[in-house]
């Protein structure tokens, strides 16, 4: 990239229950939530709203009342755009693609300032309807969906395989949930902020054996806005910003679970994309100071951290159990609280990860601050890490 993009402003609502049912007297309207966040994020950036040239929206879930949402938001915000106004969709990658496309708009010179927006409303929808909709997106409708094979099911298979191959215990892996809850305690955006113990994690009812309730993501609503600008524009504001140093993507050509024999816990797409991002950024995994990984379950954080080279293969669970990936440890991971505690409003989740790293690199993370954080790894996945989109972010004063 010859022209650099920077994150200059952010805003989000706390993850939790925000969606209203059709029977409620007063309704929560997604566009009103997002509009407030746009105003807050542009103010945070100290930018001029007239400089916004592109709006990229993570396509909302089908439960969202207003459809054709991106053009509606451009109208509602009264923001004429000469770059692009569009929606993107890619399952778990949806909001990450919105961020990536906003970066592209800036890097390609089409906009000085671009907005990446995401809203995810699902808590007023029945568990049955939500699961049916999710299975049709995440699985093969000729095989996975009729068998009731859910994303948590394949992560449970990953966990059983990992424990078999590397001798990790369920308690080792469960420490990821304990660690992440400890981080979430001081995150005002987190859905769950009460500390938990290892004993409490292990005592929870199973969701899909061996994963228990505290080791899988809760359902939650969320909305977020990230303001991206050219580096020159960011410099002109005279405030700290987070520069996008490098980016990479890889899709292994498989839908969720590979139909050809492979190493199911190697997360090859994540490993390939991360290696490329490191190479193009002129760094190594050892240079990363903090990371936010798209990890719906405890075992996914373990496997993704290994694929990214942040911990050695087979050591991810032990690294969490020994405090290596905690705040104050060698390589803090999921300082936001991760998807098990910060929450997982899936079509907005990647933007929450962007916001956490932007706060870390701008020195605004408060009690969660990683001292002198300079380089951050942002990794998002499509489904069971059959694809990964990786960004390396860099602090700029």
Tens digit of each residue's pLDDT (9 = 90 or more) over 208-228? 999 999 999 999 999 999 999
User: Of 123 and 248, which is predicted with more confidence?
Assistant: 248
CB-based contact 195:181 (threshold 8 Å): yes
Query: Which residues, in sequence order, are CB contacts of 365 under 8 Å at separation 6+?
Result: 335, 356, 359
* b/e burial code for range 373-387 (CB count within 10 A of at least 16 → b): bebbbbbbbbbbbbb
Kindly state the tokens that stand for 66: 């207003």
Domains defined for the chain, CATH in brackets: 5-125+219-237 (3.40.47.10)
Kindly state the tokens that stand for 364: 């605004």
Which of these ranges, 90-104, 139-153, 252-266, 296-310, has the smallest mean pLDDT? 139-153
pTM of this structure: 0.95
Kindly state the tokens that stand for 280: 């193009």
pLDDT level of residue 37 (50, 70, 90 thresholds) = very high
Task: State whether the Cα torsion 201-385-344-146 is positive or negative.
Answer: negative
Of the candidates 289, 366, 303, the one whose C-alpha atom is nearest the C-alpha of residue 332 is 289
Task: State whether the Cα torsion 272-277-283-289 is positive or negative.
Answer: negative
- Is residue 274's pLDDT more than 70? yes
Q: Quick one: how far is CA 320 from the chain centroid?
A: 19
Tens digit of each residue's pLDDT (9 = 90 or more) over 93-115? 999 999 999 999 999 999 999 99
Kindly state the tokens that stand for 264: 């199911």
Q: How many CB atoms lie within 10 A of CB 318?
A: 19
User: Of 150 and 395, which is predicted with more confidence?
Assistant: 395
| Bridge partners of residue 394, in order along the sequence | 243, 375
């Amino acid at each position: 990239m010859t022209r650099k993009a920077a994150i200059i402003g952010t805003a989000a609502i706390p993850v939790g229950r925000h969606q209203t049912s059709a029977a409620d007297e007063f309704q929560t309207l997604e566009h009103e939530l997002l509009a407030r966040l746009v105003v807050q994020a542009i103010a945070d950036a100290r930018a001029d709203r007239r400089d916004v040239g592109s709006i990229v929206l993570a396509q909302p879930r089908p439960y969202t009342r207003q459809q054709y949402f991106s053009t509606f938001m451009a109208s509602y915000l009264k923001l004429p755009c000469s770059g692009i106004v569009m929606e993107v969709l890619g399952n778990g990658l949806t909001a990450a693609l919105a961020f990536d496309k906003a970066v592209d708009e800036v890097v390609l010179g089409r906009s000085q300032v671009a907005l990446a927006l995401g809203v995810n409303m699902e808590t007023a929808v029945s568990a049955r309807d939500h699961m049916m909709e999710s299975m049709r997106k995440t699985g093969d409708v000729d095989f996975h969906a009729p068998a009731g094979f859910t994303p948590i099911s394949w992560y449970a298979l990953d966990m059983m395989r990992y424990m078999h191959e590397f001798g990790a215990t369920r308690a080792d892996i469960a420490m990821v949930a304990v660690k992440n809850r400890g981080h979430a305690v001081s995150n005002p955006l987190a859905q769950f902020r009460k500390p938990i113990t290892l004993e409490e994690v292990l005592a929870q009812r199973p969701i899909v054996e061996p994963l228990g309730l505290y080791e899988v993501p809760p359902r939650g609503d969320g909305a977020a806005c990230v303001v991206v600008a050219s580096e020159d524009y960011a410099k002109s504001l005279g405030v700290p910003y987070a520069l996008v140093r490098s980016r990479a993507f890889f899709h292994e050509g498989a839908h969720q679970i590979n139909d050809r024999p492979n190493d199911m816990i190697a997360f090859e797409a994540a490993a390939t994309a991360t290696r490329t991002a490191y190479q193009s950024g002129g760094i190594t995994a050892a240079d990363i100071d903090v990371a936010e990984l798209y990890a719906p379950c405890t075992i996914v954080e373990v496997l993704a951290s290994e694929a990214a080279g942040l911990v050695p293969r087979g050591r991810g669970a032990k690294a969490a159990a020994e405090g290596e990936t905690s705040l104050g440890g060698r390589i803090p991971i999921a300082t936001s609280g991760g998807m098990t505690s910060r929450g997982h409003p899936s079509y907005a989740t990647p933007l929450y990860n962007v916001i956490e790293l932007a706060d870390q690199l701008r020195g605004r993370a408060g009690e969660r601050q990683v001292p002198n954080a300079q380089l951050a790894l942002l990794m998002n996945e499509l489904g069971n890490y059959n694809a990964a989109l990786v960004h390396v972010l860099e602090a700029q004063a």
